[in-house]
Amino acid sequence: MTQDIRTHIADLLRAALNSVAPDAASAPVLLDRPKQASHGDFASNLALQLAKPLRRSPRDVAQLLLAELPASPWVQKVEIAGAGFINFTLQPAAKLKVITDVLAAGATYGRSPAGGGKKIQIEFVSANPTGPLHVGHGRGAAYGGSLSSLLAFAGWDVTREYYVNDAGRQMDILGVSTWLRYLDLHGESLPFPPNGYQGDYVRDMAKQMQAAHAGKYVRKAADVLAGTPGLPDAERADDEAKQQRELHLDALIANAKKLLGEDWNYVHNHALTEQLADCRDDLEQFGVHFEVWFSEKALFDTGLVARCIDRLEKAGHIYVQDGAKWFRSTGFGDEKDRVVQRDNGLYTYFASDIAYHLNKFERGFDKVINIWGADHHGYIPRVTGALKALELDAQKLQVALVQFAVLYRNGQKASMSTRSGEFVTLRDLRREVGNDACRFFYVLRKSDQHLDFDLDLAKSQSNENPVYYIQYAHARVCSVMSTWAEAGGNVDDLAGANLSLLDNPREQALAAKLAEFPEIIEAAAADLAPHAVAFYLKDLAADFHSWYNAERMLVDDAALRDARVALAAAVRQTIRNGMSLLGVSCPDSM
């Protein structure tokens, strides 16, 4: 029951349709898999689609279609069910053919040409390089990495891209935070801003500066504080107090740039380089790779931001109010207009985002996918509005939202504040539960659904741990095949196994589950839903364990033994193919 069998059934219905209703020959022929095995292997609603235009009852139309349906050696019976569904039950040989197909295709089983080789760019993670990646970033990384692999497997030409926010205020905050810690090492202490970056990694970068350059960048604490607004009491959390802290921090940044002059670039770039390198290393070890690391700063260096805003202005989409330039995004469905250039001449983050998307489209991608945190939902209308204003095809852009994962350890929720330093890093999580559990658990839910990451479950070796359960199925097959090979079994002979001997219901169900894999791949790719692959693998492992626990694999009957080994080998290959898309390993023993 491979994708070819599905196509074969559709072709049979198409032939009947051409005979019964040639004027409706363009009607889509859809096939679904019935939830109940008693309803057959495939079901079509074609008769229900044709009932109205033919002015006949669905069951009458179904009878007409059945009368014209060509005979097929793969079809055991065809029945009309319910309101007029046409159910197909396949011959056992047709169901078992998938085993041979899997073994022949190997690592390519399930691969689809659906993408047609079209170019698609997937931008994900793109966390500000202001500190180590935390467990919230990890979900976006796992989702983006798995989605990229899934779409490549489904025939797309995929470019994975990380947008480096290296030109904004957050990088200035990291730079000044590092410099203040460096001053402290040299005895020039001053109150550390509560809204600066406070993690140990900031102190480490300060120590690197000290080791490499001694006191070269030391300035007097009094000069650093000169003219800065005072800080409010620490316990105040009102808006005025927050604003005062931000103004104080901005004044520190301004003083740092003034006192250091050209040396500020070193401090800024040191912090950026260190954190970006740490991010790259963390992601690489997590099995998430990028072809492109795109610098936001490059958008300014090339003048693209200015040219982009000028283009919008000439098209009449920009107006000036209170000295600032505003994009008229309400004209494109946004709730309010957005500032793109402040009254001090500085461009906003939104301005550089518009320029970045213009750059994406100019690179000739057929489709562009942004993977954003769910808190960016409101950002979608203004970005798509900007694309329309630039007369670009906004339909090429698709945004997938990812809810942050919440980590629970011993029943306690872990904080994930980057500035305060009180967060659980992705690296620490990987060390604790392993890459495999991280990658799988992160994609076990639909990306826009809330995810509680249960550490205790992720580390458990039990059937309740889905990644362990699937890996154990793979290891069981490896053990069976190793014993079989030691007794003289040869993998090359499996292609000629007598599969007709696999006649019990569990074997038939397992073969049917294997045949679903290509369909799962195409559907998951179309829906941007790698979690569907995870669900499928759980079900496949369950079917295999059920069969394994009920039947002996290595029976005395050599023909039956080889047939069962062939089925087990096909299960192993399909698990490998699916798990590789999710970035999860398949150990041979556990």
Residue 157 · residue 446 · CB < 8 Å = no
Q: Which helix (H) or strand (E) holds 505?
A: helix 505-515
Q: Which helix (H) or strand (E) holds 223?
A: helix 221-225
Name every residue whose Cβ is closer than 8 Å to that of residue 150 and which is 6 or more positions away in sequence: 521, 524, 525, 530, 533, 581
Sign, Cα dihedral of 214, 215, 217, 222? positive
Please state which architecture CATH assigns to domain 3-90: 2-Layer Sandwich (3.30)
Please report the pLDDT score of residue 407 as a whole number: 83
Higher pLDDT, 421 or 206: 206
Q: Return d(Cα 509, Cα 523) in angstroms, integer.
A: 21
Amino acid present at 195: N
Sign, Cα dihedral of 469, 475, 479, 481? positive
In this predicted structure, the answer to whether residue 62 has a pLDDT above a threshold of 70 is yes
Please report the pLDDT score of residue 3 as a whole number: 52
Please report the pLDDT score of residue 422 as a whole number: 60
pTM over 0.85, yes/no: yes
Each residue of 167-188: pLDDT tens digit?
889 999 999 999 999 999 999 9
Each residue of 272-297: pLDDT tens digit?
999 999 999 999 999 999 999 999 99
Each residue of 380-400: pLDDT tens digit?
999 999 999 999 999 999 999
Q: What are the residue ranges spanned by the domains of the chain?
A: 3-90, 96-116+463-581, 169-276, 302-400
Which stretches of 243-364 are assigned E, i.e. beta strand? 292-295, 318-321, 324-327, 338-341
In this predicted structure, the answer to whether residue 414 has a pLDDT above a threshold of 80 is no
Tokens of 294: 């795109």
Mean pLDDT of 151-165: 98
11: phi then psi, degrees, rounded to nearest 5: -65, -40
Q: Return d(Cα 175, Cα 252) in angstroms, integer.
A: 11
Token pair 């000036």 is found at 320
Please report the pLDDT score of residue 1 as a whole number: 43
Mean pLDDT of 505-524: 95
Which stretches of 351-482 are assigned E, i.e. beta strand? 367-373, 397-402, 405-409, 412-413, 416-417, 422-423, 451-454
Residue 519 · residue 102 · CB < 8 Å = no
Q: Return d(Cα 369, Cα 148) in angstroms, integer.
A: 10
CB atoms within 10 A of CB 49: 19
Tokens of 265: 């670039």
In this predicted structure, the answer to whether residue 80 has a pLDDT above a threshold of 50 is yes
**Could you tell me the CATH superfamily of domain 96-116+463-581?**
Isoleucyl-tRNA Synthetase; Domain 1 (1.10.730.10)
At residue 85, the 3 state secondary structure works out as strand
Please report the pLDDT score of residue 581 as a whole number: 98
